[in-house]
Every structure is written in C-alpha cells, then in structure tokens.
Amino acid sequence: MRTYLVTGGAGFIGSNYIHYMFEKYGEEIRIINVDKLTYAGNLENLKDVEGRENYTFVKADICDSEKINQIFAENDIDRVVHFAAESHVDRSIKNPTVFVETNVLGTLVMLNAAKAAWELPDGTYKEDKKFLHVSTDEVYGSLEEDGGYFYETTPYAPHSPYSASKASSDMLVKAYMDTYKFPANITNCSNNYGPYQFPEKLIPLIINNALHGKKLPVYGDGKNVRDWLYVMDHAKGIDMVQEKGRLFETYNIGGHNEKQNIQIIHIILDTLQEMLPEGDPRKELVSEKLITYVEDRKGHDRRYAIAPDKIKEEVGWYPETMFEDGIRLTIQWFFEHEDWMEHVTSGDYQKYYQEMYQDK
Ligand code: NAD
Ligand code: DAU
C-alpha cells in the first residue's frame, strides 16, 4: 500500500485532492494529512474521510523540523504532495513575514526531511519515492493584455510577496533536484475555483456577498485577467504528473479559460439568478447594483495565462471542465453547504474582512 504525505490537506486544493485520491484509489493508498490549521485550514472540509482507516490527520507546522522528521521516521512515506502555504496575495501585501516562514522555510524543512528519509548511503534514493511541490503561475509575473502565455521556460519575475515566496520555494526544489538529484516535480498552476474555497478569494467572495446583498468589490478597472481552472481537474493533473510525468520536470497546469474579473462577476450574477428558485428571497438581493469599484491591489498583475501544452503532450492531462459547468457545480455546492460558509465567515475571517475592506 502506497503512503502519501499531503501537507496543507485541510485547505482548499489539498482537501479536494484528498477527496479525489480516495475516490480514485479507495483502499489502495494511505494518506497522512499534515496541516497547521491556520485560518485557511478547516477540518470540516474532510468530514467525510475522517473515519477512514487509511486516513490520518496530524496537526503540525511544516516549519517544525523535529515534528516533520518524526512523521517520516514513523511512516514509510512514498509520495509527498506539498500544498501547505500561505496563499492569499492581499494578506502577503499586509504581512509578508509569515509567507517567507511557511512558504520558503517550511518547504526547506519538507525537502530536508524527505531527503534524509529517502537518501541511501551512496547518494541515490530508495525506489519509487517522489516529492511534488505545488506552485503557482504567479511566479512568472504578469503578461501583456494582448498576447503571450506562460511556459515552463518563462523566466521567473514575481511581483507580490506571495509570489516571491513561492518563487523562492520553487528555486529551492530546483536546487535540490540539480544538486542532490532529489526525486521531485514542480507544478505551476493557474487560478483554481470550486468547493471548499475560502471566501477571501474572488469567486467564493462574490458568490457569498451577492447572496447576502453585500457590495461586490472590484479592484481597479476590473479588467485584470486570470485563467480559471476547476479544482478537481487540478487534483487529477497533480496525480497524473506524479504517475506519468518525468522526474525533475516542471509542468504548468492551466484551464485554457481566460476571463476578466468583471466578466467573472457578471457570469456569477447571471448564474445565481438562473439557479435560485422562484420565490427565494435571495433572488431580490443578487444584483449588478452591488458591483463596487474599489482601490486597486498594490502591484496588481494584469494578466495570467498558461499554455498547458507540455502536460498534455507528456502526461496526457488537459482541463476537462468547462467554466460554465464548473461555476454551476461550485454555486450548487455553496447552496448545499450554507453551514460551511457560516462557520468560516464567523470569527477570524470577519475581523479580516473588516480590516481589508474598511477603506474600500
Ligand atoms: P489554502 O490557503 O486554502 O490552504 C493552505 C493550507 O495550508 C491550509 O489548510 C493551512 O492550514 C495550511 N498551512 C498553512 N501554513 C501552514 C504551515 N506552516 N504548516 C502546515 N500547514 C500550513 O491554499 P490553496 O488555495 O489550497 O493552495 C494550496 C497550494 O496551491 C499553495 O501552495 C498555493 O500556493 C498553491 N496554488 C493555489 C492556487 C489557487 O488558485 N488557490 C493556484 C496555484 C497554486
Ligand atoms: O494564479 C494562481 C494564484 O491564484 C494562486 O497562486 C493564489 O494562491 C490564489 O490566491 C490566486 O491569486 P489571485 O490573486 O489571482 O486570486 P484572488 O482570488 O485573490 O484574485 C483574483 C483576481 O480578482 C485578482 O485580479 C484580484 C481580483 N479581486 C480579488 C478580490 C479578493 C477583486 O477584484 N476583488 C476582490 O475582492
């Protein structure tokens, strides 16, 4: 039985990945989920897997090398899938330090622990051990509105403290592959959306605010472009890279689905109107009048777009979910999980929301 160590599995993409893996492999695999449970980590995301015998949750900080080494010592780990990170650009602009601690130093701890556990005395590695570092397209910087794509060969040019910290972590993984022949891959992914996404990110924030008749904050002119990918397609891509990709390679994972932020907001409003049943009081609240242009994000990248050619050719992965379908699945999920939203929007997140948007 293969054992996976997933970091950050209580977050948005990590929890979707764990669901995907149990759905696909059932009892054939074991997953150990290591998560610090920051504001973004939520064990409610994993309620339906917590009773499984082949699933273990360990509350730990990836910066805690003693604890991470202990997990490797007590378990014969075959695969590491490293999601754990501080992930929100706006938070990184307010407080960069924790981004360097978790994203850079935490990744270093993970690399050292896996290397120590897997390396043989002659400098080679135990058979079939693999580390996958989950990264972002933001490391490549910003594209012009009228053309170009991010390729695996695009030079790194991060702008925000978040993307700079992710770029640094990628560089460390690359250094371990080059220097120690450490068995790893890096994936750089575009914007994900789907179930369990924390409502500080554009799509769940807009869905939640619209349903409550609250302002829909649009940064700058609303014409920044992101390349949206349904989270389950991403989960599948990660698994396919680990199984079919060439070791030491980077693979970009993108949705082939570029949209301006303002277009996303209009699609969400239209879809909500279409999906809410007649007589539902929220139908009255959902309105374009809620759209509010606010001060732009500092250093706001204009456009991200991935050409997922390499992963398609080498691994056979491509984005399967059309945005029109993915957004309906996402909205349906939020309709069916109002309690989830209520729980995450209380407490810490409420304070965060007031702080971030008080002047906007
Ligand atoms: P998220 O913020 O929803 O979840 C992050 C998880 O990591 C949380 O469960 C949190 O508790 C955990 N965590 C944070 N610091 C930790 C620490 N020090 N030790 C252990 N656990 C810790 O993030 P996400 O959106 O699911 O992103 C997951 C990964 O994918 C990140 O590495 C992110 O950079 C990358 N990524 C995200 C997107 C996206 O659109 N969301 C796109 C490309 C890449
Ligand atoms: O590209 C991949 C990245 O996508 C990931 O690496 C990050 O972890 C993830 O957070 C995401 O980063 P973005 O900054 O692109 O996502 P966010 O949802 O924060 O913003 C999407 C766009 O919407 C961006 O142009 C800013 C804008 N925006 C965002 C918020 C929260 C608004 O206009 N209003 C808002 O209230």
- Please work out whether the CB of residue 159 comes within 6 Å of at least one atom of ligand 2: no
Tell how far the Cα of 11 is from the centroid of ligand 1, in angstroms: 6
- Please work out whether the CB of residue 202 comes within 6 Å of at least one atom of ligand 2: yes
Q: What are phi and psi of 144, to 5 degrees?
A: -65, 155
- Please work out whether the CB of residue 143 comes within 6 Å of at least one atom of ligand 1: no
Close Cβ partners of 185 (under 8 Å, ≥ 6 residues apart)? 130, 131, 132, 133, 241, 242, 245, 247, 248, 249, 250, 251
Say if residue 134's pLDDT is above 80.
yes
pLDDT of residue 235: 98
Question: pLDDT tens for residues 231-241?
Answer: 999 999 999 99
pLDDT of residue 346: 83
The percent of residues in the chain predicted with pLDDT above 70, rounded, is 97
Q: What are phi and psi of 216, to 5 degrees?
A: -105, 100
Say if residue 353's pLDDT is above 80.
no
Q: Residue 185: beta bridge partners?
A: 132
Per-residue confidence band for 187, with pLDDT thresholds at 50, 70 and 90: very high
pLDDT of residue 148: 94
Per-residue confidence band for 146, with pLDDT thresholds at 50, 70 and 90: confident
Atom 29, ligand 2: residue with shortest CA distance:
202
pLDDT of residue 349: 61
Of 268, 252, 277, the closest CA to residue 209 belongs to 268
Q: Which domains does the chain have, with CATH numbers?
A: 2-193+229-257+299-322 (3.40.50.720)
- Whole-structure pTM over 0.75, yes or no? yes
Q: Residue 226: beta bridge partners?
A: 259
Of 159, 137, 158, the closest CA to residue 148 belongs to 137
Say if residue 358's pLDDT is above 90.
no
State both tokens at 160: 């925000």
Q: Which helix (H) or strand (E) holds 33?
A: strand 29-35
Per-residue confidence band for 345, with pLDDT thresholds at 50, 70 and 90: confident
Q: What is the mean pLDDT of residues 3-14?
A: 98
Atom 19, ligand 2: residue with shortest CA distance:
201
Say if residue 350's pLDDT is above 70.
no
- Which ligand is nearest to the Cα of residue 92, counting in written order? 2
pLDDT of residue 360: 67
Residues carrying an active site annotation: 137-138, 162
State both tokens at 319: 């984005």
Q: Which atom of ligand 1 is nearest to the CA of 62?
A: 19
Q: Which atom of ligand 1 is nearest to the CA of 37?
A: 11
pLDDT of residue 348: 63
Q: What is the mean pLDDT of residues 291-318?
A: 97
